[in-house]
Amino acid sequence: MISNNNFLFSESNFNRSTKTRELGSKLKALKVDFQAKHILVWRGKILFDFSSDIPNVGFLASNDSFWNNNNLVNINDGNFIGYRDEAPVFYHNISAWDDPKSDNSKLKSFSDESRNYHPALPKFYAFCELRSIMTILPKSDTAMLGSVKGIYEWNAVNGFCNKCGQPTVTALSGWEKICNSCNSKHFPRTDPVVIMLVYKDASILLGRSAAWPKGMFSCLAGFMEPGESIEAAVARETFEETGILVKNVRYVTSQPWPFPASLMIGCIAEATSHDIIIDQDELEDARWFHKNEILKAIDSKGSWWPAREGSIARYLINQWAANSV
């Protein structure tokens, strides 16, 4: 299985086993199999086990008492995700549960670090926003969790046909939506995003959004448009956000990014000048950082810091600082 050891959501012992989605009613036997592992999702938050310093996925077994004492979810309603080692994995949406202690205004936000505890689950089990703890999770599980997050979000916003507006029904264990009114079929989509390390001489160009954690700067990025090449998207996004023209665009690597459904296409490009004109609608700040500043920030987090570990942005920055790209 192909993996990338540097990235979250990429390294994996996770087998999607796409043909298993086609088993239909035969999936019921897998759902109650003694090896099966079940993941609960509540309003976009995934259930984790916080009983140790490093959180782990809060898997439920098929014979867990939760299934007998909860009328909001049925074990047979789970959607197949794939195999973790030899065990089939399913996710279940329990968003109908209402947590009276929840601050719903922060749900799905970049800054949501809250935890939600269901009374029928172990006391160390809590629903948590994946992005808030992704850097401390075992990397081997992040590809699976990215799939859970992505397919949950896709199902949450595709209850109606985008051609005729009528309700859709779920097929392929949550991986397909069918409209019985116009006979159209809908499948999960991934949005391509270019993310680029722009350099000139011994400096790189980094920006920050007002919504990000205080002090964090990262590579510029933006969605590709229909009919646009990767190289053209890199040049357009860099110029739109900072007024910088680039040349010598080169692809480096990619990373799935399930917030909610992107594929980050990592590139490097050379700037033709240092003159920044910030688009205030896109960025709060953009600056040139000398390699000495980058090396210092990588070693110790100070007043500013370069992207999160495990992200493709941090990988590009680290590789440039090490003269590896």
Q: What is the full DSSP assignment across 233-272?
A: HHHHHHHHHH---EEEEEEEEEEEETTTTEEEEEEEEEES
User: pLDDT tens across 247-293, in order?
Assistant: 999 999 999 999 989 999 999 999 999 999 999 999 999 999 999 99
Distance separating alpha carbons of residues 202 and 211, to the nearest angstrom: 28
- Higher pLDDT pick, 6 / 43: 43
Distance separating alpha carbons of residues 249 and 56, to the nearest angstrom: 39
Q: C-alpha angle 47/49/52, rounded to 5°?
A: 155
- Higher pLDDT pick, 24 / 188: 188
- The encoded tokens of residue 273 equal 């000048």
Q: Kindly report whether the peptide bond that precedes residue 260 is cis, defined as omega within 30 degrees of 0.
A: yes
Distance separating alpha carbons of residues 322 and 325, to the nearest angstrom: 8
Torsion angle in degrees (nearest 10) through CA of 237, 242, 244, 249? -30
- The encoded tokens of residue 306 equal 């370069």
Domain limits, CATH 3.90.79.10, in the chain: 191-321
Predicted structure pTM score: 0.90
Could you tell me what percent of the chain has a pLDDT over 90?
Answer: 81
pLDDT for the residue 313: 96
The correct CATH number of 191-321 out of 3.90.180.10, 1.20.140.10, 3.30.70.260, 3.90.79.10 is 3.90.79.10
Distance separating alpha carbons of residues 147 and 180, to the nearest angstrom: 27
- Higher pLDDT pick, 104 / 178: 178
What secondary structure letter does DSSP report for 167? Answer: B
Strand partners, 204: 199, 289
pLDDT for the residue 5: 52
Distance separating alpha carbons of residues 9 and 136, to the nearest angstrom: 13
pLDDT for the residue 26: 86
Strand segments, DSSP code E, in 50-175 are 56-57, 79-84, 87-93, 115-116, 125-128, 169-171
Distance separating alpha carbons of residues 304 and 199, to the nearest angstrom: 19
Q: Is 290 helix (H, G, I), strand (E, B) or coil?
A: strand
Tell whether the model's pLDDT for residue 297 goes beyond 60. yes
Residues 6+ apart with CB under 8 A from 224: 191, 192, 193, 194, 230, 233, 265
| Closest of 195, 46, 206 to residue 112, by C-alpha | 46
Tell whether the model's pLDDT for residue 25 goes beyond 50. yes
Tell me whether strands 191-200 and 220-223 are parallel, antiparallel or unpaired.
antiparallel
pLDDT for the residue 108: 63
pLDDT for the residue 2: 42
Tell whether the model's pLDDT for residue 3 goes beyond 80. no
- The encoded tokens of residue 240 equal 């739109």
Which whole-number Å values give the CA distances from 28 to 34, 148, 151, 171, in the listed order? 12, 19, 20, 14
| 288 sits in which H/E element | strand 285-290
CA 284 to chain centroid:
23
pLDDT for the residue 13: 72
- Higher pLDDT pick, 71 / 91: 91
- Characterize 179-214 residue by residue with b for buried, 16 or more Cβ atoms within 10 angstroms of its Cβ, and e for exposed: beeeeeebebeeeebbbbbbbbeebbbbbbeeebee
